[in-house]
Amino acid sequence: MLWVRGTFCVTEEAVSAKMGKDRVADHLRHGVHYITGVDVSCLMHLEGILKRANSNVQVKHIAEILTATV
């Protein structure tokens, strides 16, 4: 089956939700302050999970980090 980017959460909602919650839980267990990546839909999914949990962990696209001035 060919997956179109961004549709996984629609076509496999239960799997997507479980994966996202597991990934967030793993990051929180390790005490991170930021979660970063390159896939915007994935980052939005993780950010939504974090916001619903009232977490202070921030989600940043790798481009935001690479273009930030120090």
Instruction: Give domain status of residue 26, yes or no.
Output: yes
Instruction: Give domain status of residue 2, yes or no.
Output: no
CA distance 57 to 25: 11
CA distance 34 to 4: 27
59 and 46 in contact (C-beta within 8 Å)? yes
Q: Which residue has the tokens 């930030």?
A: 68
pLDDT computed for residue 1 by the predictor: 44
Question: pLDDT tens digits for 49-61?
Answer: 999 999 999 999 9
Note the pTM of the prediction, 2 decimals. Answer: 0.81
pLDDT computed for residue 6 by the predictor: 61
One-letter identity of residue 23: R
**41 C-beta neighbours (distance < 10 Å), count:** 13
Overall number of domains in the chain: 1
Instruction: Give domain status of residue 54, yes or no.
Output: yes
Instruction: Give domain status of residue 1, yes or no.
Output: no
Instruction: Give domain status of residue 15, yes or no.
Output: yes
Instruction: Give domain status of residue 43, yes or no.
Output: yes
Domain that holds residue 19: 8-67
Low-confidence ranges of the chain (pLDDT < 70): 1-6, 69-70
